[in-house]
């Protein structure tokens, strides 16, 4: 039985949800570079509200394995359909972009590739290796899918030595059938714990979107589950509806509630909690890694 998600009857966008417009010389330069190297970023594909701020600070989250996802999650702006062919030159081009941008911290994510036996793990590993070879000293965070629970895929990624392993839980278990079609809450928890077992020294990270109809007690329970499953870094942000075809926003969560969840996460023992209306999984990623590394 599906749980209905209903929007508020009169949901005006609140004043605290404002982000800098995507303008400026750094933004234009980076956009040109991404186009020239035939790369994708989740910043654009997922319509991230922080694209202006991050690109003007010369940070970006690269999205590998194409820009077409094999799943149809109700919240996501990334294109759905038949996946693109795997481009084995992509790791080299990502590393080139990281070098040209002079990055000290790179974030790599992907669409879901359920068409592939390893879910795309091989390409994640190749990108990590290419960046390390081209830009020694650059930290690499990977935001991976659940690989359909394939532990061998997670091992492939962790053996490549990412500096942070991120996999987003996204929402509370009650809402999974609408929000994360094709995913399972317990499977995501298992993959997070397994990543930590493989490389105990590597910070493990996960995140949630709020405003989809979850209750505060449910959020706190997920936070506790994540802590129990060895997650070090937690991100909490407001769900923003990409289009009328996507899941509706049930409510806008006030900044004070995000502050409360941050304080609760700190008391639970997370090494770092990034919480706020405009927070996304890779927002201030270098800061969260630094905080986790100190613990």
pLDDT tens column, 31-52: 777 778 877 765 554 455 555 5
In angstroms, the CA 236 to CA 220 distance is 11
Residue 76's pLDDT is what? 67
In angstroms, the CA 167 to CA 206 distance is 5
Structure token pair of residue 281: 């999984």
pTM: 0.86
For residue range 116-140, list pLDDT tens digits in order. Answer: 999 999 999 999 999 999 999 899 9
Backbone torsions φ then ψ of 63, nearest 5 degrees? -110, 115
In angstroms, the CA 9 to CA 248 distance is 11
Structure token pair of residue 119: 């879910």
In angstroms, the CA 3 to CA 88 distance is 41
In angstroms, the CA 105 to CA 287 distance is 10
Residue 21's pLDDT is what? 58
Residue 113's pLDDT is what? 87
Pick from 238, 245, 178: nearest CA to 13 = 238
All domains in the chain, ordered by first residue = 25-294 (3.20.20.70)
The conformation of residue 170, written as its DSSP 8-state character, comes to B
Residues in the chain, overall count: 295
The three-class DSSP label of residue 190 is: helix
Residue 193 contacts residue 229 (beta carbons within 8 Å): yes
Residue 31 contacts residue 52 (beta carbons within 8 Å): no
Spatial CB neighbours of 202, under 8 Å, sequence gap ≥ 6: 158, 161, 162, 163, 164, 165, 195, 196
Q: Give the DSSP H/E element, type plus range, for residue 177.
A: helix 176-179
In angstroms, the CA 108 to CA 64 distance is 7
Residue 180 contacts residue 208 (beta carbons within 8 Å): no
Q: Give the DSSP H/E element, type plus range, for residue 64.
A: strand 61-64
Pick from 239, 149, 262: nearest CA to 195 = 149
In angstroms, the CA 169 to CA 183 distance is 9
Residue 117's pLDDT is what? 92
Residue 104's pLDDT is what? 86
The segments of the chain whose pLDDT lies below 70 read 1-10, 19-27, 41-60, 70-79, 283, 291, 294-295
């Amino acid at each position: 039985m599906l749980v209905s998600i209903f929007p508020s009857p009169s949901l005006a966008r609140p004043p605290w949800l404002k982000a800098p417009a995507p303008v400026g010389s750094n933004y234009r330069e980076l956009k040109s570079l991404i186009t020239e190297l035939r790369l994708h970023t989740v910043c654009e594909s997922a319509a991230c509200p922080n694209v202006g701020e991050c690109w003007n600070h010369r940070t970006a989250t690269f999205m590998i394995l194409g820009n077409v996802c094999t799943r149809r999650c109700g919240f996501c702006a990334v294109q759905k359909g038949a996946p693109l062919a795997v481009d084995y030159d992509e790791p080299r081009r990502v590393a080139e972009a990281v070098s040209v941008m002079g990055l000290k911290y790179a974030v790599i994510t992907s669409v879901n590739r359920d068409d592939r036996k390893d879910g795309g793990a091989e390409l994640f590993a190749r990108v990590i290796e290419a960046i390390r070879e081209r830009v020694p000293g650059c930290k690499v965070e990977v935001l991976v899918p659940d690989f359909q629970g394939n532990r061998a895929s997670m091992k492939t990624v962790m053996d490549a030595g990412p500096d942070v392993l991120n996999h987003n839980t996204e929402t509370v278990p009650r809402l999974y059938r609408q929000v994360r079609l094709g995913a399972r809450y317990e499977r995501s928890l298992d993959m997070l714990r397994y990543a930590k077992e493989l490389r105990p020294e590597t910070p493990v990270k996960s995140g949630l979107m709020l405003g989809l109809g979850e209750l505060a007690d449910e959020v706190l329970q997920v936070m506790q589950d994540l802590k129990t499953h060895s997650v070090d870094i937690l991100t909490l942000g407001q769900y923003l509806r990409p289009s009328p075809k996507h899941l509706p926003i049930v409510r806008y969560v006030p900044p004070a509630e995000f502050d409360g969840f941050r304080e609760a996460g700190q008391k639970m023992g997370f090494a770092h909690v990034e919480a706020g209306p405009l927070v996304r999984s890779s927002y201030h990623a270098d800061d969260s890694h630094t905080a986790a590394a100190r613990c």
